[in-house]
Amino acid sequence: MVNTRIIGILSGKGGVGKTTLALNLGAALTDFGKNVLIVDGNLTTPNLGIHAGIPLYPTSMHDVLKGNVDIYDVMHIMYNGLKIVPASINLNDLKGVDPDMLSTSFIDLAGKIDFLLIDGAPGLGSEALSIFKASHEVLGISTPELPALTDLLKSVRLAKDHQKEYVGSVVNMVTKKKYEPNREQIESFLEGVPILELVPHDHHVRHALSKRVPVIYHKPNAKSSLKIKSVAAQLAGKEYKIPWHKKIFNRI
């Protein structure tokens, strides 16, 4: 697909922050002037629409995958132009859905979107595998704990098996406690793939979720927001330095 980067956000383990990262990265990339679409690839337990505060919607990604509607018909335009395609939270809508139709549903978007982020499904079953297949690149996310890192390592290897570029990992909910592995240890465990950013455990993230807005808008200068914006800058190839006064402010 020319000029459209399709990035699958995958972890293996559930609950490590994929949807939070997808939404905030999408918002940050849009702020960097990119045309961004986030698609909910988590078809059995989707919640991108909930994170983004999209009110009840009659049609969704499920209908696109069934071939009932065009992807443009289920696109919600948010904030400053970020586009979101949520999946249905109604279990009945799963009937007749083929996750392998994901890549086909993106064909019309070729060249019209700069970044297509797929909010990944947990696990490494057929849903997640379809996301690997539909993506050009894989962005991994894990917490700094062995079970989550073990699952992410499988995702790193799967990305290689599917000849996808593994752009790097985000380590989320970092507390920097002594018992947590550090950046070097995690990179070594993940067979040398780079860590793009360590995002701290930050109560503002949950507060933002309760308000259904991205944390980068809820608290733009929160540590988590600054780190996620740094990931977006790295993806977009933009210069982004966290201003020194914000670093000091965050320490106080």
Binding site for Mg ion (CB under 5 A): 18-19
Maximum CA pair distance of the chain?
A: 54
Binding flag, residue 225, ligand ATP (CB under 6 A): no
Span 205-224, contacts to ligand ATP by CB under 6 A: 205-206, 209, 224
Q: How far apart are CA 37 and CA 26, in angstroms?
A: 7
Q: Residue 162, SS3?
A: coil
The span of 60-68, 109-117, 150-158, 195-203 binding ligand ATP (CB under 6 A) equals: 195-203
**For ligand ATP, which residue of 5, 20, 49, 168 counts as binding (CB under 6 A)?**
20
Binding flag, residue 117, ligand ATP (CB under 6 A): no
Give 163 or 210: the residue with its C-beta nearer to ligand ATP: 210
Using CA atoms, how far residue 179 sits from 145, 146, 176, 182, 185, in Å, is 10, 11, 8, 9, 12
**Token pair for 169:** 């990992």
Degrees, nearest 5: CA angle 117-25-67: 25
Q: Are 52 and 212 in contact (CB under 8 A)?
A: yes
Q: Which of 157, 100, 85 is nearest to 131 (CA)?
A: 100
Residues 60-99 as x/- pattern, contact with ligand ATP by CB under 6 A: ----------------------------------------
Q: How far apart are CA 11 and CA 32, in angstroms?
A: 25
**Token pair for 31:** 């702020």
CB of 199 to ligand ATP, least distance (A): 5
The span of 7-15, 57-65, 102-110, 158-166 binding ligand ATP (CB under 6 A) equals: 7-15
Binding flag, residue 15, ligand ATP (CB under 6 A): yes
H or E element in which residue 39 lies = strand 36-40
The span of 8-16, 72-80, 104-112, 153-161 binding ligand ATP (CB under 6 A) equals: 8-16
The span of 59-67, 69-77, 194-202, 238-246 binding ligand ATP (CB under 6 A) equals: 194-202
Give 12 or 65: the residue with its C-beta nearer to ligand ATP: 12
How many CA within 13 A on the CB side of residue 85? 28
Q: How many residues bind ligand ATP (CB under 6 A)?
A: 20
Q: Which residues contact ligand ATP by CB under 6 A?
A: 11, 14-20, 42, 45, 122, 172-173, 199, 201-202, 205-206, 209, 224
